[in-house]
Chains A and B, each alone.
Chain A
């Protein structure tokens, strides 16, 4: 069974600050890793994904994430946040075999103070 852990339930920063949202997973096989954002009352929007290659992947709106096999991590970062980045961020893992469902972390609620 795969598990996805997002250690910070809430993160609060000021506009213009950098931020890192942490994600650790446990799974021994070949996997896909993704990050999604959910604004209040809305569905999930795709930010970025990783499967192989360069461990740093770029996503939408200035987000990037770095995969580390040794740490079993896939942390999300942004150099300078905007108030509109306030939302809940979910890390997701899926197996690399066919159309597999996602396993999600419990999310990190990011609040950006203007």
Chain B
């Protein structure tokens, strides 16, 4: 069973507000991924980190989205100015030495009113 912790489980924001969610990866996992799962079950990869460094990120995350994985602190994903289309389940996953296995947290369900 995955030991990835995500908080909060639910987040409700108004349009234009900041939305911040956190993730604690499994102990010893150096790589963290963020995905967005919309109501149609479509997944969108957002960004990933190896230790504190960004490995890959999509264009969307370069504008309103920001993320970090500081040493000895939870990773975080923040949306600077939430839009209705950002409403989704945000999933954090971590990976150890097995490249094909990502362990997912329960997700943060963001609702933007």
* Residues of A participating in the B interface, judged by any CB pair closer than 8 Å: 32-34, 36, 42-46, 49, 51, 88, 90, 94, 96, 98-104, 106-107
Cα(A33)–Cα(B100), bound, Å: 7
* Residues of B participating in the A interface, judged by any CB pair closer than 8 Å: 1-2, 4, 6, 31, 33, 35, 40-43, 45, 48, 50, 55-56, 91, 93, 95, 99-107
By beta carbon, the residue of chain A nearest B93 is: A44
> What residues of chain A lie closer than 8 Å to B2, measured between beta carbons?
43, 45-46
State whether B101 touches A49 (Cβ < 8 A).
yes
> What residues of chain A lie closer than 8 Å to B91, measured between beta carbons?
43-44
Given contacts A43-B107, A45-B104, 15 further A-B contacts (CB under 8 A): A33-B100, A36-B104, A42-B107, A43-B2, A43-B106, A44-B93, A46-B103, A88-B41, A90-B43, A99-B31, A100-B99, A101-B33, A102-B43, A103-B43, A107-B41
Cα(A45)–Cα(B93), bound, Å: 11
By beta carbon, the residue of chain B nearest A93 is: B100
- Least distance between A62 CB and chain B CB atoms (Å): 17
Q: Do A32 and B55 contact each other (CB < 8 Å), given the known contacts A99-B50, A102-B45?
A: no
State whether A99 touches B104 (Cβ < 8 A).
no
